Amino acid sequence: MSIIEKSDKFHDECGVMAVHGHQEASKLVYLGLYALQHRGQESAGIASSDLVRLHNIKAMGLVADIFTEDVLGRLPGSLAIGHTRYSTTGDSALLNAQPIRVECNKGAIALAHNGNLVNAHTLRRQLEQNGSIFQTTSDTEVVVHLIAQSKEQTLPDAIADALRRIEGAFSLVLMTRDRIFAARDPQGFRPLSMATLPNASGRPSVVFASESCAFDLIGARYERDVKPGEFVVVGNEGVHSRIFAAPRPQSSCIFEHVYFSRPDSVIFGRPVQESREALGRELAREAPVVADLVVPVPDSGVTAAVGYSNESGIPFSFGLIRNHYVGRTFIEPEQRVRDFGVRLKLNPVQHLLKGKRVVLIDDSIVRGTTSRKIVRMVRDAGATEVHMRISCPPTISPCFYGVDTPSKKHLIAANKSVEEIREYIGADSLAYLSLDGLKRACAEGENVTYCTACYTGKYPTDIVDVEEIEPAPVAWK
């Protein structure tokens, strides 16, 4: 690996969806985004085409709050794409919401992107030197400028040309007045799947989504994944596939299996639920402990805890209950309640935990603050021992490909040993799953190879952000 420049890190976690050839295209995209809401809760948008004009509506907030019947009525046509996004870019968040819609020399285009580009800074500088005027601070806008500036004559050729120039993670859906394009970067970082939906007109509609759970909700049938380095064009003439770049070693994000995707999705050809249960089984074999109860941190630790319990024979119990209706802001009582923020979301079931030796299972420790509070809560509820088990290796390096991880100085495992972390979170014992165990559980080698950079610091692209990965001391309180 050579570190050659500062990359972009927009902390974008996103879901994308597209429908071609359906009289209720925008409604189907809305439903798909609803199923993909876990991939981003900050803003959402849908663009549709009635074959004459592109319509585009985006706003801050949750999909179901933004897209009322009335709003969807303003998104007519048989083609639509959509996007849901989590980002930490603050004020500029609505500006950076997607789909991005532009009118350029190649016509009207709308674009939605999941993943982070690592060479967007350099490309943006070059494009600006050539006169491009950017409207947003998002890396995705670079793609539309590259398409507009391409010397290629046809739009598919201009898109292929643009896709060859961008580096990093991109699962893209793009719409013109009469066509949908779906593309995945040559390393296949983020998921993107294709499905068909029976249609009254006889010809099935074609659907794309980040995760297969979006297909289930609209009754679409999963066909296949968009391949790394492939872009699929759907138009009146049918479905066409082309390879825009030579294949590279596949680096699909293993964290999609660990945490990010919904367990009812099939990602990179493998059911997420199966991976998560196998993670728990591997963990039980690698890090056994004598205990009375296996308790998941809901929801992220639930399936791995089922696997841990089945493998170890230690009974599973929902010893922590999650409130699913916690909003963004809340009023704190004047009298200080310890760990109020976490307690609002999670509450221990005292009669289950009292007097018990508990194995707590979660998917990951990032900064360590959540685990510390949860361990304390379980202890306060009367548990006699708390053993923390994590269903992946220590997170030691930030992600540059679309998962929101803090820079290295805030990652506890980049700064402390496992024993020091155990002490910090206050557990009686702490163990993480090994990298080999993680890969086995996610079936690496069968049909997929993974990016594990957040656990190894070995990045599968040349460009990463030097500042983000250079260790800097931080005071852990």
- Which C-beta is closer to ligand AMP: that of 12 or that of 216? 12
Starting from the edge strand earliest in sequence, which strands make up the sheet with 79-86, in order? Answer: 54-60, 43-49, 79-86, 13-20, 205-209, 193-197, 221-225
Nearest distance from residue 448's CB to ligand AMP, in Å? 21
Instruction: Using DSSP bridges, classify how beta strands 252-253 and 450-451 pair: parallel, antiparallel or unpaired.
Output: parallel
Nearest distance from residue 270's CB to ligand AMP, in Å? 20
Residues 223 and 206: their CA atoms lie apart, in Å, by: 10
- Which C-beta is closer to ligand AMP: that of 165 or that of 345? 345
- Which C-beta is closer to ligand AMP: that of 43 or that of 49? 43
User: Are 83 and 66 within 8 A, CB to CB?
Assistant: no
Sign of CA dihedral 252, 257, 259, 261: positive
Residues 300 and 260: their CA atoms lie apart, in Å, by: 9
Residues 209 and 228: their CA atoms lie apart, in Å, by: 15
Nearest distance from residue 74's CB to ligand AMP, in Å? 32
Nearest distance from residue 368's CB to ligand AMP, in Å? 5
Residue 392: active-site member? no
- Which C-beta is closer to ligand AMP: that of 23 or that of 417? 417
Beta bridge partners of 206: 20, 196
Nearest distance from residue 194's CB to ligand AMP, in Å? 26
- Which C-beta is closer to ligand AMP: that of 366 or that of 474? 366
**Which stretches of 324-418 are assigned E, i.e. beta strand?**
346-348, 357-362, 385-390
Nearest distance from residue 471's CB to ligand AMP, in Å? 18
Question: Tokens for 14?
Answer: 């996103």
**Helix locations, 405-474, DSSP H:** 412-415, 418-425, 435-441, 453-456, 466-469
User: Which residues contact ligand AMP (rule: CB under 6 A)?
Assistant: 259, 297, 300, 362-371, 403-405
Of residues 14, 213, 399, 442, which has the active-site annotation?
14
Single-letter amino acid, residue 343: R
Give the CA distances from residue 120 to residues 63, 238, 277, in Å, rounded to whole numbers and listed in that order.
Answer: 28, 33, 37
Single-letter amino acid, residue 353: L
- Which C-beta is closer to ligand AMP: that of 297 or that of 359? 297
Catalytic residues: 14
